[in-house]
Amino acid sequence: MFDKAQKIFTTTLTAGTLTIIAEYGVTAVSLKLTAGAGTYQGTKQLGTIVSTPNALVVDKPVVVSSEQSKYIDELIIDATGGTIEIIAR
């Protein structure tokens, strides 16, 4: 059981980008490509390896989450070539 309420964010992103940062207070985000091409990418570097974009597949949802008490920081969602449905909490 959650100890506090969480609001839900929903949008359909078409031909644009959205960068989720810690200040938004997001702990989980679901991405579903509905048409065209789209990617998601973190900005964290692990040692000498930098993050690269991951392609979304039409009608195959992806969920990115953090621990309940921590927020996702700098997740880039790119729908410049398509349409992505986004649900975040």
| Position 67 confidence tier, pLDDT thresholds 50, 70, 90 | confident
pLDDT, tens digit (0-9, with 9 covering 90-100), for 31-44: 999 999 999 999 99
As a whole number of angstroms, the distance between CA 23 and CA 73 comes to 8
Using one digit for the tens of pLDDT, what is the confidence trace for 46-63?
A: 999 999 999 999 999 999
Q: Which of 66, 77, 12, 82 is nearest to 40 (CA)?
A: 77
Residue in the structure block whose two tokens are 């609001």: 7
Phi–psi pair at 27, nearest 5 degrees? -105, -15
Q: Give the integer Cα–Cα distance in Å for 60 and 83.
A: 13
Q: Is the pTM of this model over 0.75?
A: yes
Q: What mean pLDDT is predicted for residues 71-77? A: 96
Identity of the amino acid at 75: L
Q: Percent of the chain at pLDDT above 90?
A: 89
Just give the CATH number of 9-88.
Answer: 2.60.120.10
